[in-house]
Amino acid sequence: MAPRSPLTATPELLSFLQELHSQSLSQESKIEWHSLPGQTTNEFDDIMRDKFIALDQDKCELIYQLLRSINATTIVEAGTSFGVSTIYLALAAAQNAARDGSSKARVIGTEKEPSKAAVAQKNWDKAGGEIQGVIDLRIGDLRETLAQDLGTVDFLHLDIWTPLALPALKLVEPHFRPGAMIIADNTIKAAAGYAELFAYVDAPDSRFRRITMPYAGGLEMIVYQ
């Protein structure tokens, strides 16, 4: 028997998520990663404009579990794309807020491409009522959108091109509560791109501590002490 999903979700939502992950993987299998232009070029943006590049399903499920465990209700996502991982974040935040009774669920998403943001919104509408009203999607460059009001942040999902990982972390850092968690994707495969972030996190006076988890490509768990 297949193991039960860790998500508390309707069969319709589970099958919708499965469909989104399948579409993303199918697109990714056709990308020629070695011949891509640099991540901060317009050519790269043109190629990525119709791509999900969704976080893998097993990593999304891990994040959902972590969020339920640390009772995260205010979550920031750097890099939202078509909003697949965001559904997991919003579901966990909504369920935590409902369990808690005193806090409001809030997921601040960021996406610089308006066409991707529009698709994300459609996906969230289809994902159902439980996540409605939870996501505050900020369209534009995260170096501007994350400089605005965030509240006290429990969790940061760093799923962004690597040159933006450290700028995003620095913008959210003043808002972390002690014990806040950050998950960053692809940290073994893209270790060179994360060099500045790692140097910042590993600095002697840093309040961050990190471990690399052996998920495909590597997945970093960073805790703000």
CA-to-CA dists, residue 199 to 139, 168, 194, 196, 205, angstroms: 29, 15, 9, 5, 11
CA-to-CA dists, residue 53 to 10, 50, 56, 79, 116, angstroms: 24, 9, 9, 10, 11
| Residue 124 and residue 86 in contact, taking contact as beta carbons nearer than 8 Å | yes
Question: How far is C-alpha 135 from the geometric centre of its chain's CA atoms?
Answer: 12
String of contacts with ligand SAM for each residue 40-59, x by CB under 6 A: --------x---xxxx----
* Binding status of residue 142 toward ligand SAM by CB under 6 A: yes
Q: With CB under 6 A as the contact rule, which of the stretches 30-38, 73-81, 94-102, 173-181 interacts with ligand SAM?
A: 73-81
User: Shortest Cβ distance from residue 141 to ligand SAM (Å)?
Assistant: 4
User: Shortest Cβ distance from residue 182 to ligand SAM (Å)?
Assistant: 14
User: Shortest Cβ distance from residue 161 to ligand SAM (Å)?
Assistant: 5
Give CA–CA dist 199/191, Å, rounded: 11
* Binding status of residue 85 toward ligand SAM by CB under 6 A: yes
Residues that contact ligand SAM, how many (by CB under 6 A): 22
* Binding status of residue 161 toward ligand SAM by CB under 6 A: yes
| Residue 70 and residue 39 in contact, taking contact as beta carbons nearer than 8 Å | no
Q: With CB under 6 A as the contact rule, which of the stretches 109-117, 147-155, 169-177, 212-220 interacts with ligand SAM?
A: 109-117
Give CA–CA dist 80/86, Å, rounded: 7
**C-beta neighbour count of 45 within 10 angstroms:** 14
* Residue number with CB closer to ligand SAM (48 or 221): 48
* Residue number with CB closer to ligand SAM (1 or 33): 33
Residues that bind ligand SAM (CB under 6 A): 48, 52-55, 79-82, 84-85, 110-113, 116, 141-142, 159-161, 164
